[in-house]
Structure 1
Amino acid sequence: MSWANSPTESIRDIPRLSALPRGESPALDPRPRGAATLGRDEREIHMLPEPISAYLDAAAGGDPATIAAVFAEDATVTDEGRTYTGRAAIRSWREQLAAAYTYTTEVTGTRRDGDDWIVAIHLEGDFPGGVADLDQRFTVRDGRLTGLHIK
């Protein structure tokens, strides 16, 4: 199935939010809990496969159901040493994040590693430590995300 024909093609319609300046508290941001913002070079993001761009846009919107919809039914996500398998588990993971934290997300780089794509992310928020630089390793097959490993 091509991405354009999927029931989630409205993901592109999610409004993009502006990133907070570094040092400004995300707690003062009026966004709903768990919503992220994206500061990114549009040219760099357009080079990513569509499912990865759709994930980043959905994460900026903060809706766990929309985020889960970009994954294949049997996809896996590994975050903080835990693995979530299947859309329902991925949606639950994002719901837990949304309930617990408010943060900003800035894409700081992208690169290809074999069949995978790595998106470097800078986070600032009300999570333990308050600041994190992470690599999100995406695997794409047949127009869907099949894997996301965050470290």
Structure 2
Amino acid sequence: MELHGVVMRFVDAQNNFDSKAYLECFTDSAIVYDEGKTHTGKAEIRQWIEHANDEYQSSMKPTNYDQSGSNALLTAEVSGTFPGSPIVLQFHLGLKDDLIDSLKITG
């Protein structure tokens, strides 16, 4: 399975709990939707991912990837210190200028 460059960096950053590298995958005005909450811009996304890394220590194993134009869907098995681990999640990505401009995580 071949991942878009930024998606590969996104997965690597998550698996290394590297919030700085994770943040570098996003545009300045990116929006993330996760667990019923919206995080807008890099400052909010940084707070969200640092909390998630500390709380859940999640890593992901991609199982499927589809891309059509600027929209992509990454399906991954996600493991961590959360109830029900591992679970399969879908990462709905909006891409812009080789960065992630939007991310919606669904189960």
Secondary structure of the structure 2 residue equivalent to 1:122: strand
Kindly state the Cα deviation for residue 85 of structure 1 after the two structures are TM-superposed: 0.6
TM-score by length of 1: 0.65
1:92 corresponds to 2:32: no
1:140 corresponds to 2:100: no
Secondary structure of the structure 1 residue equivalent to 2:95: strand
What is the aligned-residue identity percentage? 27
The number of equivalent residue pairs is 106
Kindly state the Cα deviation for residue 113 of structure 1 after the two structures are TM-superposed: 4.6
Runs of 4 or more above 3 Å deviation = none
Runs of 5+ in structure 2 lacking a partner? none
**1:48-97 deviation line (CA, Å, top 9, x unaligned):** 32221111111122111211111000001111111111111111111101
Runs of 5+ in structure 1 lacking a partner? 1-43
Secondary structure of the structure 2 residue equivalent to 1:138: strand
1:81 corresponds to 2:51: no
For 2:37 and 2:15, how far apart are their aligned partners in 1?
22
Q: Is the 8 A contact 2:25 2:99 kept in 1?
A: yes
1:99-118 alignment to 2 at 5 Å? 99-113=54-68, 115-118=70-73
Larger CA Rg, structure 1 vs 2: 1
Secondary structure of the structure 1 residue equivalent to 2:13: helix
1:122 corresponds to 2:77: yes
For 1:116 and 1:80, how far apart are their aligned partners in 2?
21
RMSD of equivalent CA atoms: 1.5
Q: Is the 8 A contact 1:64 1:92 kept in 2?
A: no
Q: Is the 8 A contact 1:102 1:126 kept in 2?
A: yes
TM-score by length of 2: 0.88
For 1:113 and 1:73, how far apart are their aligned partners in 2?
23
Q: Bigger shift: 131-140 or 95-104? A: 95-104
